[in-house]
Amino acid sequence: MAAIKKVVLAYSGGLDTSIILKWLQEQYGCEVVTFTADIGQGEELEPARAKAQAMGVKSIYIDDLREEFVRDFVFPQFRANAVYEGEYLLGTSIARPLIAKRLVEIAELTGADAISHGATGKGNDQVRFELGAYALKPGIKVIAPWREWSLNSREALMSYAQQHAIPIDFAKAGKKSPYSMDANLLHISYEGGGLEDPWWEPEEAMWRWTKSLEAAPDQAEYLELTYERGDIVALNGVRLSPAAVLAELNRKGGEHGIGRLDLVENRYVGMKSRGAYETPGGTIMLKAHRAIESITLDREVAHLKDELMPRYASLIYNGYWWSPERLMLQTMIDESQQVVNGDVRVKLYKGNVMVVGRRSEDSLFDASIATFEDDRGAYNQKDAEGFIRLNGLRLRIAAGKGRRLI
């Protein structure tokens, strides 16, 4: 195997990826290029530059990907109403293909022959990063330190850091959250710590984005979302960029205690994992999008989308964003969204998102037909008799042959 001369590392600036940076330099004797993505995690990223420079890194990329993340990844996912295992809005999953894409782009820009990430060998992220990278650059080499090294405990990592003079902020380390957390503009997730006991209820102090139901306002708030081709383009009549839309929905949803989830999910690698999630903006988006679709989509188109959605969601969860089957499904979904235009009014109150109004120039809702009042001949109720008899024909034939159901 050819020697690795240069590797692009997905680098957060934290202890783990700083150790990985040094380990790559030592183990592979190669130049390390660092890449830090701003996808709305709400942390100061410039300190990552200083840390990388202190460790001898010459090529440092810190990229603001917030708009691309929401426009090209989050919005397409919500056009599909994607939910994994009935509850999870895929907040971590949907960020990984973007990071993989940028890792590959930087590898090409810098002439690197490998990329590296800090995902462990137990989780889904290793699969998502690597499937994305292979789909976009088949010959790329991937280095996953957690599958190679012997540093398999927090104590071993701390010892390695001290031996190699990697700065450790002991004040912060002492205050470190007991949870493994991941944040971006769509969500924040929590794993580990007390959550490893599925019976244990997380303490209120764990949650960072959302108020408790008890602390949420006693007054409801109304919000109007404007859609064009399935995407939100304005809130309360004010046009906003995709990232600004999601940030504002997060703020409003979090204020009203919307978007908390406690879930035991099935990881792609085979184990069950318990996680807690805060997805306030996404929770509002899903509810509102289904509402605008309810008046603009043809019945069979809507039902077909619902049938395909679990497969689409699994593709994202399992790391197949760049697969031909996901792209095929996306083309179909996006075509359906050409008529998904209009406004949805929602009421936010104590953790609930209630749709209270929807309107569209492309609406298929016809009040003259649906009315319980005099429809003036718009619908002939006698037509239903033949419709029912024809649809019941096979049932009557089977019953006539003695095929009893009870």
pLDDT of residue 171: 47
Which CATH number among 3.90.180.10, 3.50.50.60, 3.40.50.620, 3.40.20.10 corresponds to the domain 6-74+92-176?
3.40.50.620
Label residue 375 by pLDDT band (50, 70, 90): confident
pLDDT recorded at residue 406 = 80
**Is the predicted pLDDT of residue 154 greater than 70, yes or no?**
yes
96 catalytic, yes or no? yes
Q: Give domain limits for the chain.
A: 6-74+92-176, 183-297+340-359
Helical H segments across 142-228, by residue range: 154-163, 170-174
Of 16, 113, 334, 343, the active-site residue reads: 16
- Catalytic position from the list 180, 294, 323, 363: 180
State the catalytic residue, choosing from 12, 102, 116, 125. Answer: 125
Number of alpha carbons in the 13 Å side-chain half-sphere of residue 345: 9
The tens digit of pLDDT for each residue in 223-247 reads: 999 999 999 999 999 999 999 999 9
Residue-averaged pLDDT of the chain: 95
Strands 188-191 and 272-278, bridge-based pairing: antiparallel
- Predicted local confidence at residue 282, as pLDDT: 98
Of 96, 260, 326, 358, which residue is the catalytic one?
96
Cβ atoms within 10 Å of 317's Cβ, excluding its own: 24
Q: What is the DSSP letter of 4?
A: P
pLDDT of residue 146: 94
Given a cut of 60, is residue 175 above it in pLDDT?
no
pLDDT > 90: percent of the chain: 87
- Provide CB contacts within 8 A for 375, sequence distance 6+: 368, 369
Strands (E), 281-330: none
Residues contacting 186, CB < 8 A, separation 6+: 40, 70, 74, 89, 90, 91, 94, 95, 246, 279, 281, 282
pLDDT in tens, 188-218: 999 999 999 999 999 999 999 999 999 999 9
pLDDT digits (tens, 9 = 90+) for 19-35: 999 999 999 999 999 99
Are the folds of 6-74+92-176 and 183-297+340-359 the same?
no
Closest Cα partner for 277 from 355, 173, 179? 179
Residue 32: Cβ within 10 Å count: 26
pLDDT of residue 3: 87
Question: For this structure, is 345 an active site residue?
Answer: no
Is pLDDT larger for residue 83 or for residue 179?
A: 83
- pTM tops 0.85, yes or no: yes
| Residue 180 a catalytic site member | yes
| Rounded Cα–Cα distance for residues 240 and 298 (Å) | 29
pLDDT over 60 (residue 170): no
CATH fold group of domain 183-297+340-359: Argininosuccinate synthetase, chain A, domain 2 (3.90.1260)
| Strands, sheet with 260-266, edge to edge from the N-terminal-most edge strand | 180-183, 188-191, 272-278, 260-266
pLDDT at 101 exceeding the cut of 80: yes
N-terminal to C-terminal alpha carbon distance within the chain: 68
Is the pLDDT at 298 greater than 80, yes or no?
yes
Q: Is 16 noted as a catalytic residue in this protein?
A: yes
